[in-house]
Amino acid sequence: MSSEAARLLGPGLYLHIPFCSAICPYCDFAVRKGGARRQSDAFVDALVKEIRGLRSGELLPEAPDLAASVTELVDAPFDTVYFGGGTPSFLTDDQLERIFDTLFRVFQLRSDGRFFFEANPEDITPDQLRSWRRLGVSTLSLGVQSFDDRELRFLGRRHSAKEAEIAVRDALEADFETVSIDLIYGLPNQDPGSWQAALESILELGADHLSLYELEVHAKTDFGKRQAKGETLQLPLDAQADLFLRTHDVLSSAGWDAYEVSNFARTPEHRSRHNQKYWHHIPYLGLGPSAHSFIDGWRFWNEPFEPRWRRWVSDGTSPAAGWEKLPASALALEQLMLGLRTREGVRLDRLQAHLDIDFLKRNQRLLESWSSSELVHLKEDRLVPTVSGMAVADRLAAELDIGNESA
């Protein structure tokens, strides 16, 4: 799917499910350990009220211009719905059915739309898979993270490598349009051979999509506390770069499409239609605690603490905790940062529309240097990164001059 085709698609919906059966030591998301059924029932009550409140106008953000944009977005036909978290598979079938029913009643959902759903391998059973498929889930994303038992223990995961393999096979037999796998790399002392074996396992199993995440250590997590005490929890940068390049070599040799720095698809049809909205500034609406939204240059986000988010919604108060209208220079910088992470690169005419300078003239020497170093290529109206360029995309974007306003 070209970026032009992606822009022709409708906006997306994201629903944040904040519960997990256990909190992984590296996790920095807005999640909480799930407990009694009444806790998740109360969450679903509030999520349903937030959905309805956006339609009625009761729970719109307080900024008038932003509220008008959200009202317009709510009326649009959505073509992707993404259940993320947390762990959406933590919810029961009855709870999920209630959410799906509300979505179909409140929003326009395109007939060719796609539903994305995150799940943990330990939640996978043939009956559960049939239930999610019956609800309309088309892409199932499995939080495998590793096919190595030692690495899984280090990451605090609750499944074994064998259980992960069984979950993937069962998911593939359940007739989802796409089965995606999440993996984490950059673990301390991670062996390149074991990493390559994990990639070859994905190919052998017949999965359709891979999302690859470099291990990050955040201060407030268990890993962050351990690192603050002097424990080494990540590979050196050069070793991480080796794993990144090895990933591209293995998957490209197998014919996989590296369409974004951390996303790989077996065929173009298996690319994530929803995630491409983030990379191409297509509008999306976030629901639930901590969920982010983007529309008409506005970015806004919900209260991250689930009990407070739930209380605001229950009281008839907008759960939006903050918002900002991005200036043209900020939108241009985002286009650079996001575009240089994708195989399609940056469309220069769209970038230039946000700038008061001649971008190519201002950055000519730098771009020539990068081209000589095989970090980027200029192809007609696009600035396209190579694999080596994608590996340092954030640094490249930061070095480009987009005018004094962005300084």
The structure's pTM equals 0.94
Alpha helices in 181-314 (DSSP H): 192-205, 222-228, 237-253, 273-279, 306-314
Task: Give the residue-averaged pLDDT of 267-280.
Answer: 94
Task: Give the residue-averaged pLDDT of 114-134.
Answer: 96
Residue 62 has pLDDT above 80, yes or no: yes
Position 406 confidence tier, pLDDT thresholds 50, 70, 90? very low
Residues 47 and 151 occupy one common structural domain: yes
Residue 25 lies inside a defined structural domain of this protein:
yes
Look at residue 380 in the predicted model and tell me its pLDDT: 83
Q: Strand order in 108-119's β-sheet?
A: 257-260, 263-265, 209-214, 178-185, 137-145, 108-119, 77-85, 12-17, 284-287, 292-295, 298-302, 320-325
CATH of the domain at 262: 3.20.20.70
Look at residue 404 in the predicted model and tell me its pLDDT: 55
Look at residue 279 in the predicted model and tell me its pLDDT: 92
Residues 141 and 233 occupy one common structural domain: yes
DSSP summary character for residue 63: S
Is the link from the previous residue into 288 a cis peptide, with omega within 30 of 0? Answer: no
Residues found in the chain: 407
Q: Which helix (H) or strand (E) holds 214?
A: strand 209-214
d(CA 214, CA 236): 12
| 335: Cβ contacts below 8 Å, ≥ 6 apart | 281, 346, 350, 351, 354
d(CA 407, CA 404): 5
- Model confidence pLDDT, tens digit, residues 350-364: 899 889 899 999 999
Residue 304 lies inside a defined structural domain of this protein:
no
d(CA 166, CA 205): 10
What does pLDDT average to over the chain? 93
Look at residue 38 in the predicted model and tell me its pLDDT: 73
CATH of the domain at 344: 1.10.10.920
Look at residue 194 in the predicted model and tell me its pLDDT: 86
Residue 125 has pLDDT above 80, yes or no: yes
Residues 196 and 48 occupy one common structural domain: yes
Residues 80 and 211 occupy one common structural domain: yes
| Buried b / exposed e along 211-246 (16+ C-beta atoms within 10 A) | bbebbebeeebbbbeebeeeeebbbeeebbeebbeb
Residue 349 has pLDDT above 80, yes or no: yes
Report how many domains make up the chain: 2
Query: Domain limits at 366?
Result: 328-406
Residue 358 lies inside a defined structural domain of this protein:
yes
Name which of 145-149, 352-356, 402-406 the model is least confident about: 402-406
Residues 271 and 372 occupy one common structural domain: no
Look at residue 21 in the predicted model and tell me its pLDDT: 84
Task: Give the residue-averaged pLDDT of 360-371.
Answer: 95
Look at residue 133 in the predicted model and tell me its pLDDT: 97
Residues 335 and 230 occupy one common structural domain: no
Q: At which of 248, 279, 310 does a domain end?
A: 279
Which two three-digit tokens encode residue 379?
Answer: 């192809």
| 72: Cβ contacts below 8 Å, ≥ 6 apart | 295
DSSP summary character for residue 357: S
Residue 407 has pLDDT above 70, yes or no: no
Look at residue 36 in the predicted model and tell me its pLDDT: 60
| 382: Cβ contacts below 8 Å, ≥ 6 apart | 344, 345, 346, 347, 348
Look at residue 35 in the predicted model and tell me its pLDDT: 65
Residue 118, SS3 per DSSP: strand
- Model confidence pLDDT, tens digit, residues 3-25: 444 445 799 999 999 998 889 99
